């Protein structure tokens, strides 16, 4: 990829000093700068994160960020996927003054089949994430954004979102850890309550969602070009094995357990090469 956003301050030339979302006004400085936050993987019970969350919320509420992006994992990978976990996350997100854009992680659906997660049907948990975490088009937070969604509220692919601000487009994709929910024979029953039939269903889900992710990503790049955006940021939870630093004899993206991301990375590379801005 050509480049990436190394921090949380975006400096892009915008056509106008002020940008207004459908739900609220976001002031961008006259020099084109604004700030946002990228965070995730909390609160983890095994790390005793919960007592620290109020201080985090207070610090972020006192900052000058315009919004924050939460890149998944509302719980740790060894705790149960009970309904109250999602309700607690919603309460946490709605404690923030500014909009919180939520992108799903593997701990809240992909890994819920694990015995120590409660042995759930992880596709049922994915449906639950969509119905509960994406019940309405607006983001979480006391102030909200109204991003575009690939699916209708509560339905398939509602979790894939995009919005633009100040010359940059932000895209959230459901690309979680655990190999993007692509399952092989070895991982099917490992520490899992899954049946072979459920593993086959997981692979069918992966293929359908991967295709939808390609389509949403491509449409986002095309819209960014049309609108003249100078940058595009894609937020996913899974580690696809970026080949950084690039080496001829060792490609991290082709390591075992990473093949669920290979096609997406190839598509992202092609889109990036055809986009004149930063990615």
User: Tens digits of per-residue pLDDT, 222-236?
Assistant: 999 999 999 999 999
User: What's the rounded mean pLDDT across residues 65-85?
Assistant: 98
**Confidence (pLDDT) at 9:** 36
Report the distance separating Cα 164 and Cα 87, nearest Å.
Answer: 28
- Residue 118: inside a domain, yes or no? yes
Whether 4 has a pLDDT exceeding 50, the answer reads no
- Residue 2: inside a domain, yes or no? no
Would you place residue 33 in the very low, low, confident or very high pLDDT band (cuts 50, 70, 90)?
A: confident
**Confidence (pLDDT) at 248:** 66
Average pLDDT value over all residues in the chain = 89
- Residue % of the chain over a pLDDT of 90: 80
User: What's the rounded mean pLDDT across residues 101-125?
Assistant: 98
User: Tens digits of per-residue pLDDT, 181-198?
Assistant: 999 998 998 999 999 999
218: number of Cβ within 10 Å: 13
- Residue 116: inside a domain, yes or no? yes
- Residue 221: inside a domain, yes or no? yes
Would you place residue 243 in the very low, low, confident or very high pLDDT band (cuts 50, 70, 90)?
A: low
| Close Cβ partners of 126 (under 8 Å, ≥ 6 residues apart) | 104, 109, 110, 205
The whole-model pTM stands at 0.88
Least confident of 85-94, 141-150, 248-257: 248-257
8 A C-beta contact, residue 120 and residue 82: no
- Residue 94: inside a domain, yes or no? yes
8 A C-beta contact, residue 232 and residue 277: yes
- Residue 279: inside a domain, yes or no? no
What CATH number has the domain bearing residue 190? 3.60.21
Cα three-residue angle 109-115-118, rounded to 5 degrees:
60
- Residue 4: inside a domain, yes or no? no
8 A C-beta contact, residue 161 and residue 173: no
Whether 25 has a pLDDT exceeding 80, the answer reads no
User: Tens digits of per-residue pLDDT, 147-164?
Assistant: 999 999 999 999 999 999
For residue 107, what are the domain limits?
Answer: 9-273
- Residue 182: inside a domain, yes or no? yes
**Confidence (pLDDT) at 157:** 99
**Confidence (pLDDT) at 233:** 98
Structural domains in the chain (count): 1
**Confidence (pLDDT) at 256:** 74
User: What's the rounded mean pLDDT across residues 91-111?
Assistant: 99
Whether 247 has a pLDDT exceeding 80, the answer reads no
User: What's the rounded mean pLDDT across residues 153-178?
Assistant: 98
Whether 63 has a pLDDT exceeding 90, the answer reads yes
């Amino acid at each position: 990829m050509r480049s990436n956003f190394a921090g949380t301050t975006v400096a892009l030339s915008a056509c106008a000093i002020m940008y207004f979302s459908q739900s609220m006004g976001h002031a961008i400085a006259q020099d084109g700068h604004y700030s946002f936050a990228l965070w995730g993987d909390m609160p983890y019970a095994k790390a005793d994160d919960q007592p620290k969350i109020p201080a985090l919320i207070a610090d972020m509420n006192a900052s000058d960020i315009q919004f924050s992006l939460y890149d998944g994992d509302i719980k740790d990978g060894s705790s149960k996927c009970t309904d109250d976990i999602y309700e607690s996350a919603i309460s946490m997100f709605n404690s923030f003054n500014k909009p919180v854009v939520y992108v799903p992680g593997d701990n809240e659906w992909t890994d819920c089949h694990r015995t120590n997660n409660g042995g759930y049907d992880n596709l049922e948990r994915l449906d639950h994430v969509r119905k509960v975490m994406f019940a309405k088009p607006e983001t979480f937070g006391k102030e909200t954004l109204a991003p575009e969604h690939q699916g209708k509220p509560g339905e398939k692919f509602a979790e894939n979102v995009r919005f633009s601000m100040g010359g940059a487009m932000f895209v959230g994709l459901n690309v979680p850890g655990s190999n993007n929910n692509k399952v092989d024979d070895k991982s099917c029953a490992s520490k899992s309550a899954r049946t072979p039939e459920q593993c086959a269903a997981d692979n069918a889900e992966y293929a359908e969602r991967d295709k939808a992710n390609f389509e949403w990503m491509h449409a986002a790049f095309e819209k960014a070009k049309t609108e003249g955006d100078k940058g595009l940021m894609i937020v996913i939870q899974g580690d696809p094995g970026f080949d950084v630093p690039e080496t001829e004899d060792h490609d991290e993206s082709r390591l075992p357990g990473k093949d669920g991301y290979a096609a997406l990375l190839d598509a992202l590379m092609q889109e990036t090469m055809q986009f004149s801005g930063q990615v």
